[in-house]
Amino acid sequence: MILVVGGAGYIGSHLVKDLVKKEEVIVLDNLSTGHIEAIDKDALFVQGDLGDPKVLDSIFMHYPIQAVMHFGANSLIGESVINPQKYYLNNVSSTLTLLEAMLKHQVKNFIFSSTAATYGIPKVRLIDESIDTHPINPYGKSKLIIEQILEDYAKAYDFHYVVLRYFNAAGAYETAEIGESHHPETHLIPLVLHHLAGEKDKISIFGADYNTPDGTCIRDYIHVSDLADAHILALEVLMNKSVKTATYNVGNGIGYSVREIVQMCEAITGRTAKVEITERRTGDPACLVASSEKIYKDLGWRAKRNLEQLIESAWTWHLNQKY
Ligand SMILES: NC(=O)c1ccc[n+]([C@@H]2O[C@H](COP(=O)([O-])OP(=O)(O)OC[C@H]3O[C@@H](n4cnc5c(N)ncnc54)[C@H](O)[C@@H]3O)[C@@H](O)[C@H]2O)c1
Ligand SMILES: O=c1ccn([C@@H]2O[C@H](COP(=O)(O)OP(=O)(O)O[C@H]3O[C@H](CO)[C@@H](O)[C@H](O)[C@H]3O)[C@@H](O)[C@H]2O)c(=O)[nH]1
Question: What tens digit of pLDDT does each residue of 222-233 get?
Answer: 999 999 999 999
Instruction: Sketch the domain layout of the chain as residue ranges.
Output: 2-170+221-250, 188-219+253-319
Range 142-156 average pLDDT: 98
Mean pLDDT of the 244-260 span: 97
Strands 256-257 and 218-219: antiparallel
Q: What is the pLDDT of residues 16-52, one digit of tens each?
A: 999 999 999 999 999 999 999 999 999 999 999 999 9
Kindly name the residue from 87, 88, 119, 139 that is annotated as catalytic. 139
Sheet hosting strand 287-288, strand order edge to edge: 256-257, 218-219, 287-288
* Residues within 6 Å of ligand 1 by CB: 6, 8-12, 28-34, 49-51, 71-73, 75, 90, 94, 113, 115, 166, 168-169, 182
- For the cut 90, the answer to whether the pLDDT of residue 283 exceeds it is no
Return the closest-CA partner of residue 199 out of 292, 303, 135, 269.
269
What is the fold of 188-219+253-319?
Answer: UDP-galactose 4-epimerase; domain 1 (3.90.25)
Average pLDDT, integer, range 143-152: 98
Q: 197 CA to middle of ligand 2, Å?
A: 20
**In degrees rounded to 5, what are phi and psi of residue 228?**
-60, -45
Catalytic residue status for 139: yes
Please name the amino acid found at residue 254. Answer: I
How many Å from the N-terminal Cα to the C-terminal Cα in the chain? 28
76 CA: nearest ligand 2 atom = 29
Look up the CATH architecture of domain 2-170+221-250: 3-Layer(aba) Sandwich (3.40)
Nearest partner of 113 among 190, 185, 197, 7, judged by Cα: 7
Is 318:190 a contact under the CB 8 Å cutoff?
yes
- Calculate helix-pair angle for 53-62, 94-104, nearest 10 degrees: 30
What are the tens digits of pLDDT across the range 57-89? Answer: 999 999 999 999 999 999 999 999 999 999 999
The residue whose CA has the least distance to atom 17 of ligand 2 is 168
d(CA 38, CA 296): 29
Q: What percent of the chain has pLDDT over 70?
A: 100
Longest dimension (CA), the chain: 56
The C-alpha atoms of residue 21 and residue 2 are separated, in whole angstroms, by 12
| Mean model confidence pLDDT for the chain | 97
Could you tell me what percent of the chain has a pLDDT over 90? 98
